[in-house]
Amino acid sequence: MIFYAKNSAPEECCAFLGGEKDTFTHYYPLKNSAQDKKKSFFVAPIELFQNLQQINNLGQDLLGIYHSHPNSIAYPSKTDIQLALYPKAVYFILSLKPENLALFSILENKVIPLEFRVLE
């Protein structure tokens, strides 16, 4: 994930995270089609649909949505909160300055930080 974010910098990158129960196992990179890719991300509906279908086909659930912040802290921006359309998903934000990964739940415009651990 870090590699993908650095590769896309200074533009933001995003991805779906799939898996079972509460363990994330798969990573689905999404194409950022936003007008200003340095400050936001937007994924075309067809791209969302195809990736969701792939997650379903593999018997997984969409557990999280990941995106990078090349130039800001690992906290949801106003736009991120407005565009948080999947209440069940966990939002992963990877900041590159300083390098930091944070997880949030976004429910009805409220941001709730989450604890996590990395499995080998």
Residues found near Zn ion in the complex (CB under 5 A):
77, 80
- Classify each residue of 29-66 as buried b or exposed e, where b means 16 or more C-beta atoms within 10 Å of its C-beta: ebebeeeebebbbbbeeebeeebeeebeeeebbbbbbb
Catalytic residue among 11, 12, 47, 115: 12
What is d(CA 41, CA 68) in angstroms, rounded to the nearest whole number? 9
Q: How far is the CB of 88 from Zn ion (least distance, A)?
A: 19
Nearest CB to Zn ion, comparing residues 13 and 62: 13
Q: How far is the CB of 79 from Zn ion (least distance, A)?
A: 7
Q: How far is the CB of 56 from Zn ion (least distance, A)?
A: 26
Nearest CB to Zn ion, comparing residues 20 and 99: 99
120 is catalytic: no
In the chain, the largest separation of any two C-alpha atoms, in whole Å, equals 37
DSSP letter string, 1-41? -HHHHHHHTTS--EEEEEEETTEEEEEEEE----SSTTT--
Nearest CB to Zn ion, comparing residues 60 and 68: 68
Q: How remote is the C-alpha of 8 from its chain's centroid?
A: 14
Report the catalytic residues: 12
